[in-house]
């Protein structure tokens, strides 16, 4: 599975970022788009299939997390196109280019297994976003940097919600 998406075409733009910067940022945005779409579908997979004594709580929590993950998809894709690139946002593209690990077999998962699986995936996505923040800062694209900061803050909050269900008092 490839984890890199290439900007297949870069349209001209009056945005005052160098073409090389726009190309690098668009490639990063398409990586983020693939992972975000994949993370959303995996979160819905947990939402639909969680079973157990805390079903209702977790069903609602997973739906809330899925909504938060879904929300920035359009902003990510539109930022890539605003930079002159193409947004690669199909389900097939997401499956091929996402760095998020495949979701485990839900028929064998407990509530805690779902919580741990989602925590792992949210943490990986959050790490990617922070790496993106650093890269966009280095590339002097503060608009994309700001987008990544906004998404990262919400992903960390949802990770906290998930982890709070599996953490024990010390």
**Tens of pLDDT along 158-169?**
999 999 999 875
pLDDT in tens, 133-143: 999 999 999 99
Q: Which of 10-14, 23-27, 62-66, 145-149 has the lowest mean pLDDT?
A: 10-14
Banded pLDDT at 8 (limits 50, 70, 90): low
pLDDT of residue 169: 59
pLDDT of residue 4: 54
Angle at 40 between CA 38 and CA 100, to 5 degrees: 35
What's the 3-state SS for 141-154?
Answer: CHHHHHHHHHHHHH
Separation of alpha carbons 156 and 19, rounded Å = 32
pLDDT in tens, 112-131: 999 999 999 999 999 999 99
Which of the two residues, 150 and 9, has the higher pLDDT score?
150
What domains can be seen in the chain, in order of their start residue?
Answer: 24-164 (1.20.1260.10)
pLDDT in tens, 66-92: 999 999 999 999 999 999 999 999 999
Query: The pTM is what?
Result: 0.93
User: Cβ atoms within 10 A of the Cβ of 156, count?
Assistant: 15
Query: Is residue 144 over pLDDT 60?
Result: yes
């Amino acid at each position: 599975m490839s984890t890199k998406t290439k900007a297949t075409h870069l349209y001209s733009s009056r945005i005052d970022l160098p073409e090389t910067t726009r190309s690098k940022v668009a490639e990063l945005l398409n990586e983020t788009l693939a992972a975000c779409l994949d993370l959303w579908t995996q979160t819905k997979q947990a939402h639909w299939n969680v079973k157990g004594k805390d079903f209702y709580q977790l069903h609602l929590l997973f739906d809330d997390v899925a909504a938060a993950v879904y929300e920035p998809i359009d902003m990510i894709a539109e930022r890539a196109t605003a930079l002159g690139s193409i947004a690669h946002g199909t389900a097939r593209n997401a499956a091929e280019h996402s760095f998020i690990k495949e979701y485990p077999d839900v028929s064998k998962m407990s509530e805690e297994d779902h919580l741990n699986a989602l925590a792992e995936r949210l943490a990986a996505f959050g790490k990617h976003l922070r790496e993106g923040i650093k890269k966009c800062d280095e590339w002097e694209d503060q608009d994309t940097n700001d987008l990544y900061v906004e998404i990262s803050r919400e992903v960390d909050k949802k990770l906290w919600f998930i982890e709070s269900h599996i953490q024990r008092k010390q």
